[in-house]
Amino acid sequence: MAIPLSYSWRNLLTRRVTTVLTAGGMALVVFVFTATLMLAEGLRQTLVSTGSPDNVVVLRKSSETEVQSTLDRQVSNIAATQPELATDSQGRTMAAREVVVLFVLPKRTGEKSNVVIRGVGETSLELRPQVRLIEGRMPAPGSTEIMVGQSVLTKFAGVGLGQTMRFGQRLWTVVGVFDAGRTGFSSEIWGDAEQLMQAFRRQAFSVVVAKLRDPDGFEPYKARIEGDPRLQAEVKRERQYYEDQSKALSRFLKVLGVSLTGIFSVGAMLGASITMYSSVATRTAEIGTLRALGFRRRDILLAFLAEALLLGALGGAAGVAASSLLGFLTFSTTNFQTFSELAFGFTLTGEIAATSVGFALFMGVVGGFLPALRASRLVIVEALRSG
């Protein structure tokens, strides 16, 4: 590039207010764009980290979620006693027969939302090392005691330690609060599986979650369970299962975000275009001078495109920086796939930051191209006369 970048940069600095306003418009669009991608990524990471790499989930064939799945006792017993599964120090297979039901609870805001109530077994906690009791105690087996996830405690009403709630025609007492980090379990209520089955008149479990002795054991385990015509069951790695759960909502968020920002970006590009046109108009004599000195049309085009790109880069950097602050927030919504409330955060990755800045540069180039072309096509003598 014959004309140095400093020329373009200083021109932006000279028109400080216009530059800030135009870059600010772009930054807003980038902010929305980045925030959407961060939200979709946050959802994905939350659900993916919910699953452990060594764990497998056994569901009824063709059921996409735990809520839809039912495994009767015989099937779940077979699934929980296979040679590929790990055993604990007492020689028991590390498998939990769990039941998952949805229940409507009032939120602190007054609205109501579905919450996952998970009936767990003795080994459930061992299978989920990310779940830690932070307050109170574990529910006693065979009792109507429950513990609630941290996100449930902060978002829902009447679920505090010592409080009771009525569902399944029984009164349940909250005896513990657990934290499961940024995983889906934080949005659940856990209680004894057998008690919950009776309360909700269930004859069957929802899923069997088990830990593999060796991750390579997955394929033979899957082949045996799925190959047995009596079982009509399906085996997934737990991580894959939760990743599948995030797909629909994640895609929805992405499509919504990209469509919205697509529309907003037209406004931002027009803003950039107007700024650059005015920049060309006020510098017509300057352009004529540069051309007279021997700079070619291409040099002028590149200098103005560089200016528009810098404008885009400023907007992009500001937008990404602002959206990175969202990382401190937690967002909660209903996951369409499970119809239950799920809390997740905004997660900024290098890829998202790069995509967002790329998007901002794209807006800069598209907005700046026509003005730059106009600048490069000015007739030298006429341009000089305008000064």
Query: Which residues bind to another protein, rule: CB under 8 A?
Result: 2-4, 7, 10-11, 13-14, 285-286, 288-297, 380-381, 384, 387
Nearer to another protein, 8 or 65 (CB): 8
Nearer to another protein, 289 or 332 (CB): 289
Classify residue 24 as exposed, middle or buried by CB count within 10 Å of its CB (0-12, 13-18, 19+): middle
How far apart are CB 279 and another protein at their closest, in Å? 12
Question: What is the per-residue burial (b if ≥16 Cβ within 10 Å, else e) of 145-173?
Answer: bbbbbbbbbebbeebeeeeebebbeeebe
User: Residue holding tokens 């009791």?
Assistant: 133
Nearer to another protein, 290 or 353 (CB): 290
How far apart are CB 367 and another protein at their closest, in Å? 21
Strand partners, 191: 119, 146
Nearer to another protein, 290 or 372 (CB): 290
Phi-psi region of 349 (alpha: psi -120 to 50; beta: other; left: phi over 0): beta
User: Residue holding tokens 């990471």?
Assistant: 45
Nearer to another protein, 13 or 329 (CB): 13
How far apart are CB 21 and another protein at their closest, in Å? 19
- Residue 215 has, within 13 A of its CA and on its CB side, a CA count of 6
Alpha helices in the chain (DSSP H): 5-14, 16-50, 73-79, 124-127, 150-155, 193-199, 218-227, 238-282, 284-293, 297-324, 350-376, 380-386
Rounded (5°) CA angle 23-24-25: 90
Q: In whole angstroms, give the CA distance from residue 81 to residue 84.
A: 9
How far apart are CB 282 and another protein at their closest, in Å? 10
How far apart are CB 245 and another protein at their closest, in Å? 55
Nearer to another protein, 4 or 53 (CB): 4
How far apart are CB 288 and another protein at their closest, in Å? 8
